[in-house]
């Protein structure tokens, strides 16, 4: 499995970064990792899950063992994890689960489908955390909080891909208002770009996403906005401050931009050279298309005025019976 470094986070989380930074980033991680576990890392193979659980029961750390025990509590598993072989059949040998334990745990999963689904969920989140190099001690917590946050979110909401390393670095270190603005603006713009290489947008759309809204029309009346949301609008509505922020994003966050004779501003996840080339090619195609339309129009009008246009024959439509369509 390819090593991943990003998780998907809802832009509605962005405004609370200013007054609840640690809690908000924790929620971003819980939600993003849980969602990733249901898509990229989703496994539903009973043998894989059984082998992983037996391995963790013998060879996991204390926290992992406790999570396994809590997940399987109230089950008839007196046989499970009572040996002292640390998950190995022989000293120095390859890891191989005991056949009896495999059979008994498989039987439990086949009889209790709900229990099996919960264990699959645990396995998928556990593997996601390992891939992201995040502590697996949080596996159960990710499941609990991830589910809770999914229920609270609106169905039609924008998302952005956020770097795990950046989120953790912001979580664990003091950050200035300017630093937080950069993170918020970066995620806001990336939520607009989505899976594309670049996109044409405008300041109002960027402001909407920075304030946690999906659409410009979702922003409430300016008179009702306060706190950091009001500060963002007041500060970055000034052309100099906005352009300064855009250039910082280009230098520190690899978000290229281009706005020479464009209606709005282009942002891209590609090099500046490639972005300019793409935009100028698109503008030239538009100019060529307009020139072609103008030439065709002139040719048509010339034909009309010179009496060269043929009359269009009128086709009589019979009254057909369409019953039974």
What is residue 320's predicted lDDT score, i.e. its pLDDT?
55
Could you tell me how far CA 307 lies from the centroid of its own chain?
61
CA 154 from centroid of its chain's CA atoms: 15
Q: Which residues are CB-contacts of 35 (< 8 A; sequence separation ≥ 6)?
A: 7, 8, 146, 150
What 8-state DSSP symbol labels residue 72? T
Write the pLDDT tens digit of every residue in 47-96. Answer: 888 888 888 888 888 888 888 888 887 666 655 555 555 555 555 566 67
| Mean of the per-residue pLDDT values of the chain | 86
Average pLDDT over residues 140-146: 95
Check: CB of residue 81 under 8 Å from CB of residue 58. yes
- Residue 316 pLDDT > 60, yes or no? no
- Considering only residues 32 and 261, tell me which one the structure prediction assigns the higher pLDDT: 32
The lowest-confidence range among 81-85, 134-138, 193-197, 300-304 is 81-85
Higher pLDDT, 25 or 308: 25
Cβ neighbours for 225, distance < 8 A, ≥ 6 positions apart: 211, 219, 233
- pLDDT, greater one: 295 or 247: 247
Using 50, 70 and 90 to split pLDDT, how confident is the model at 185? very high
Query: Which candidate, 251, 231, 236, 253, places its Cα nearest to that of 161?
Result: 253
User: In angstroms, rounded to a whole number, what is the distance separating the alpha carbons of residues 90 and 38?
Assistant: 36
Which whole number is the average pLDDT over 287-298?
76
Provide the pLDDT for residue 149: 94
283 vs 239, higher pLDDT: 239
Question: Mean pLDDT, to the nearest integer, of 147-163?
Answer: 90
Q: What is the pLDDT of residue 77?
A: 63
Confidence of residue 283 (pLDDT cuts 50, 70, 90): confident
pTM of the model as a whole: 0.81
Residue 322 binned pLDDT confidence (cut-offs 50, 70, 90): very low
Q: Taking 70 as the threshold, does the pLDDT of residue 295 lie above it?
A: yes
Over range 256-278, report the average pLDDT: 94
E strand intervals along the chain = 6-10, 159-163, 198-201, 256-258, 265-268
For the stretch 24-46, what's the b/e string if a residue is b when 16 or more beta carbons lie within 10 angstroms of its beta carbon?
bbbbbbbbbbbbbbeeebeeeeb
For residues 84 and 286, the model is more confident at 286
Percent of the chain residues topping a pLDDT of 90: 53
Please state the length of the chain. 325
Section 157-183 average pLDDT: 96
Question: What is the radius of gyration, based on Cα positions, of the chain?
Answer: 29
Give me the mean pLDDT over the 220-249 stretch: 93
Q: At 223, is the pLDDT very low, low, confident or very high (cuts 50, 70, 90)?
A: confident
Tokens of 200: 């044409």
Round to whole Å and give the CA distance between 56 and 190: 38
Average pLDDT over residues 242-250: 97
For residues 162-180, give the mean pLDDT.
96
Query: Is the pLDDT reported for residue 154 higher than 50?
Result: yes
């Amino acid at each position: 499995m390819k090593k991943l470094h990003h998780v998907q986070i809802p832009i509605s989380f962005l405004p609370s970064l200013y007054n609840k930074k640690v809690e908000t980033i924790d929620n971003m991680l819980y939600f993003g990792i849980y969602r990733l576990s249901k898509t990229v890392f989703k496994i539903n193979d009973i043998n894989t899950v059984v082998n992983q659980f037996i391995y963790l029961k013998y060879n996991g750390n204390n926290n992992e063992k406790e999570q396994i025990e809590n997940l399987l509590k109230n089950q008839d598993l007196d046989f499970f994890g009572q040996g002292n072989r640390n998950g190995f059949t022989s000293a120095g040998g390859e890891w191989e689960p005991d056949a009896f334990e495999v059979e008994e745990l498989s039987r439990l999963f086949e009889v209790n489908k709900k229990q099996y689904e919960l264990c699959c969920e645990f396995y998928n989140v556990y593997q996601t955390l390992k891939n992201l190099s995040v502590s697996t001690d949080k596996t159960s917590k990710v499941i609990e909080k991830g589910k809770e946050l999914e229920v609270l979110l609106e169905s039609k909401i924008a998302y952005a891909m956020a770097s795990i390393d950046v989120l953790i670095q912001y979580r664990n270190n003091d950050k200035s208002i300017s630093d937080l603005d950069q993170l918020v603006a970066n995620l806001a713009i990336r939520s607009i770009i989505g899976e594309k290489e670049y996109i044409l947008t405008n300041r109002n759309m960027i402001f909407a996403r920075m304030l946690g809204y999906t659409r410009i029309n979702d922003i409430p009346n300016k008179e009702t906005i306060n706190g950091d949301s009001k500060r963002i609008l007041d500060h970055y509505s000034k052309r100099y401050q906005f352009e300064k922020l855009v250039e910082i994003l280009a230098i520190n966050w690899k978000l290229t931009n281009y706005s020479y004779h464009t209606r709005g501003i282009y942002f891209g996840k590609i090099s500046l050279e490639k972005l300019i080339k793409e935009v100028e090619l698109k503008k030239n195609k538009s100019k060529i298309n307009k020139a072609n339309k103008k030439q065709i129009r002139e040719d048509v009008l010339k034909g009309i005025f010179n009496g060269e246009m043929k009359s269009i024959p009128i086709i009589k439509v019979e009254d057909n019976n369409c019953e039974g369509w």
